Structure 1
């Protein structure tokens, strides 16, 4: 992948499990690819930015 930069991201266990499940379900290489897909979706859907980032979701409360 051109321009790729390796970074560390801190996730909760359930978040990592979700990413791995989505990778498996959709035939992606790994959980990292699933995360990149989510990021790319967010970037390409600027109209949804507010809904993605300002709606309060408290899954761990």
Structure 2
């Protein structure tokens, strides 16, 4: 992976479980690959930025 660096990201247990579930479901190497896929999708869909980042989704209220 070109230019990749190890990073620390704070996630809730259910978020990590979701990433692992998506990795397993889609044959990805691991949960970090699933997270990179989500980030790459967001980057490549700039028109959806507002919907992705400003729509309030309170899953922990």
TM-score of the two chains, using structure 2 as the length reference? 0.99
Which runs of 5 or more structure 2 residues have no equivalent in the other structure? none
What's the CA shift for 1:40? 0.0
What do you get for the CA RMSD once the two structures are aligned? Answer: 0.3
What's the CA shift for 1:10? 0.5
Q: State the alpha-carbon separation in 2 of the partners of residues 44 and 59 from structure 1.
A: 25
Which runs of 5 or more structure 1 residues have no equivalent in the other structure? none
Runs of 4+ in 1 over 3 A off after TM superposition: none
User: What residue is the counterpart of 1:58 in the other structure?
Assistant: 58
What's the CA shift for 1:39? 0.0
TM-score of the two chains, using structure 1 as the length reference? 0.99
